[in-house]
């Protein structure tokens, strides 16, 4: 009986220790994801063909270097939300994806990163004004 109580206490303290390690680690993982340190491209992609037609048109304009319909197209995107991989300021540029019936630029954008805007390293699509992104894949 004594041995069973001691082993049960040891198991309980191992469980408490494991729970406290997990409780400390999980918020750090969430913070790292929020800072853009963990990019899960496998779950966050969209094929060019699956973009809305306006997104496909914007993507083609990016690759041909314009001309763009909005003055803000091609302006620096600051990645303040830190949802995209961390890069130096000026790496990302944003482009408007037209939204039918919107009175303004709408919420849809393509954000591309790289040294040369017409040959980006990667592009990302957001339909909710930077709350989430999906990497654009061929």
Q: Which CATH number goes with the domain that contains 74?
A: 3.10.450.30
Q: Are residues 30 and 54 in the same domain?
A: no
Q: Is residue 39 part of a domain?
A: no
Q: What is the pLDDT of residues 59-71, one digit of tens each?
A: 999 999 999 999 9
Report the share of the chain in percent with pLDDT over 90: 66
Q: Considering only 6-15, 25-34, 89-98, 125-134, which range has the smallest mean pLDDT?
A: 25-34
Q: Is residue 82 part of a domain?
A: yes
Q: Are residues 58 and 20 in the same domain?
A: no
* DSSP type of residue 89: T
Are 133 and 111 in contact by the 8 Å Cβ rule? The answer is yes
Q: Is the pLDDT of residue 36 over 70?
A: no
Q: Are residues 30 and 55 in the same domain?
A: no
Residues 33, 70, 87, 94: which is the catalytic one? 94
129 catalytically annotated? yes
Q: Are residues 80 and 21 in the same domain?
A: no
Q: Is the pLDDT of residue 109 over 80?
A: yes
Question: DSSP string of 47-76?
Answer: EGGGS-HHHHHHHHHHHHT---SSTTTTEE
What is the model's pLDDT at position 26?
A: 44
For 117, the 3-state DSSP assignment is coil
The answer to whether the bond into 67 is cis (omega within 30° of 0) is yes
Q: Are residues 30 and 56 in the same domain?
A: no
Domain of 12 in residue numbering reads as 1-34
Q: Are residues 68 and 13 in the same domain?
A: no
Q: Is residue 68 part of a domain?
A: yes
Query: Measured between alpha carbons, how far is 3 from 31 in angstroms, rounded to an integer?
Result: 43
Per the rule left: phi > 0, alpha: psi between -120 and 50, beta: everything else, 101 is left
Q: Are residues 122 and 64 in the same domain?
A: yes
């Amino acid at each position: 009986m004594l041995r069973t109580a001691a082993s049960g206490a040891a198991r309980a303290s191992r469980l408490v220790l494991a729970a406290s390690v997990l409780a400390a680690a999980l918020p750090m993982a969430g913070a790292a994801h929020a800072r853009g340190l963990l990019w899960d491209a496998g779950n966050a992609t969209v094929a060019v063909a699956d973009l809305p037609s306006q997104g496909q048109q914007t993507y083609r304009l990016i690759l041909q270097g314009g001309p763009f319909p909005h003055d803000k197209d091609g302006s620096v995107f600051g990645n303040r939300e830190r949802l995209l991989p961390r890069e130096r300021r000026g790496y990302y540029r944003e482009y408007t994806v037209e939204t039918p019936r919107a009175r303004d630029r709408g919420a849809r954008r393509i954000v591309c990163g790289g040294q040369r805007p017409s040959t980006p390293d990667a592009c990302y699509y957001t339909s909710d004004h930077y709350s989430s992104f999906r990497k654009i894949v061929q």
